Amino acid sequence: MRPPTRRRFFALSAPLLGLTACKKTVPSEIGAPLSAYGERSPHEKSVRSVKESVTPGSGATFTPLQDLEGIITPSSLHYERHHAGIPDIDPAQHQILVHGLVERPLIFTMDDLRRFPSISRIYFLECSGNSNLEEAGDPQPTPQSSAGLLSCSEWTGVPLSSLLHAAGLKPEAKWVVAEGADACMMARSIPIEKALDDILVAYAQNGEPLRPAQGYPVRLVVPGWEGNINVKWLHRLHVLNQPAMTRDETSHYTDLMPDGTARIFTFEMEAKSIITRPAGGQMLGHGPGSYEVTGLAWSGGGKIQRVEISTDGGATWKDAVLQDPILSKAATRFRFEWNWNGQPAALQSRCTDETGYVQPSLDDLVRVRGRFAYYHCNAIKTWFVKQDGSVSHA
């Protein structure tokens, strides 16, 4: 018989606390001194995954989703995707030029920017290439490798509309090209409707100035839209009557379909979820009994309305509990109490957003988009539990 108490789920890598407990937990020596800038406990080792690359300034690192709690990603673990490295920018020298179809071309310093009224909002960021190997038929072994190009932060900044209105948009203004001050001057075109809606010119993340890898000293945050268009190290906004058709909105970040056509300007990241515990690389370490299933859901379409859990590979579904806060275009934490009977199981999460959009199965997605779309894969992810309690991707 198993005790009825609810047991916490532990990952394989977690220390076996029970065996070492009671052995000198209260020290008799004075502890470490105060410090000017805090560090995490040396016992905590969770890190982003970094791939070796011949061009180390270009590539991506993945957030360890399986180790995170709540909805906020620590800035130090926010995923990275750079195209020419992280520039070292002196904020005192940094400027943003607004020009093109405006009444008054303007240059803003960082001080100028902070003179506008600011707002703080919690939004997810997701690289549109996130989970592309799932669609390509190469299921990834952990939440980090499967969907780790997803992070969520509190961003503080000035509405982009404030800068555009200060410069005065001409009636023929239809697009805004945003350009970064990285070595490749990465640039993307944004429709004016979105530019005037909810985009932030953000200078802070999770209560502190942006990290260099996240665009210090200033970046765009384009809520709900693919990561690439959230231009980092922002230094130029060019108002136009048409898109510029930059490299990163034509040759990249376009979705190749089975008929050979490619979808262009596929901005929104559709509703998606993933179970982060128990998940691939982990272990149901206490035999049959009660476990918590938890994970994250998010949608570029707005708020998450519902998350359902299946333990039988999608045959039957039960509602998970959504943890407050449930915010538009932010990650939402879901939780589900599961009584594992000790038999093989296939765990899935499926989310629905406030527009009624339901996260698709991988089969349904591949049937329409094929295996080579490369971007915008939001399919349901399956974790397989074996009888010995091990959890894997296959």
Partner 1 sequence: MLKWLLVCATAFAQTPGRPATDAEIKSMDYTVLPNGAGLPKGKGDAAQGRFLYEQKCQECHGERGEGQSGKYPPLAGGAGSLKSLKPVKTVGSYWPYATTLFDYIRRAMPYDHPRSLSTDDVYSLSAYVLFMNGIVTENQELNEKNLPQVKMPNRNGFVPDPRPDIKPKQK
Where along the sequence are the contacts to partner 1 (CB under 8 A)? 54-55, 58, 83-84, 97-99, 104-108, 112-113, 115-116, 163, 166-167, 177, 179, 183-185, 187, 235-236, 238, 240, 242, 244-247, 250-251, 254, 256-268, 270, 357-358, 360-361, 363-365, 367-369, 371-372, 376
Q: Do 187 and 264 form a contact (C-beta atoms < 8 A)? A: no
Give the shortest CB-177-to-partner 1 separation in angstroms: 6
Residue number, 258 or 325, with CB nearest to partner 1: 258
DSSP 342-363: SS-EEEEEEEEETT--BPPPHH
Give the shortest CB-180-to-partner 1 separation in angstroms: 11
Give the shortest CB-301-to-partner 1 separation in angstroms: 9
SS3 label, residue 382: strand
Total residues belonging to the chain: 394
Residue number, 217 or 360, with CB nearest to partner 1: 360
Residue number, 198 or 255, with CB nearest to partner 1: 255
Q: How many Å apart are CA 75 and CA 284, to the nearest integer?
A: 29
* CA 21 remoteness from chain centre: 36
Residue number, 83 or 333, with CB nearest to partner 1: 83
Residue number, 281 or 300, with CB nearest to partner 1: 300
Give the shortest CB-46-to-partner 1 separation in angstroms: 27
Give the shortest CB-364-to-partner 1 separation in angstroms: 5
Give the shortest CB-255-to-partner 1 separation in angstroms: 9
Q: Where are the beta strands (DSSP E) in 160-245?
A: 175-180, 187-191, 200-205, 208-209, 219-221, 234-240
Q: How many Å apart are CA 210 and CA 93, to the nearest integer?
A: 16
Q: How many CB atoms lie within 10 A of CB 96?
A: 21
First to last CA, the chain: 31
The strand pairing partners of 383, in sequence order, are: 347
Residue number, 154 or 268, with CB nearest to partner 1: 268
Residue number, 4 or 137, with CB nearest to partner 1: 137
Give the shortest CB-376-to-partner 1 separation in angstroms: 8
Q: How many Å apart are CA 197 and CA 216, to the nearest integer?
A: 23
Give the shortest CB-363-to-partner 1 separation in angstroms: 7
Q: How many CB atoms lie within 10 A of CB 53?
A: 10
Sheet order of strands, 391-392 included: 318-319, 304-310, 345-353, 382-385, 391-392
Listed residue (215, 220, 217, 171) closest to 194, CA to CA: 220
Residue number, 98 or 391, with CB nearest to partner 1: 98
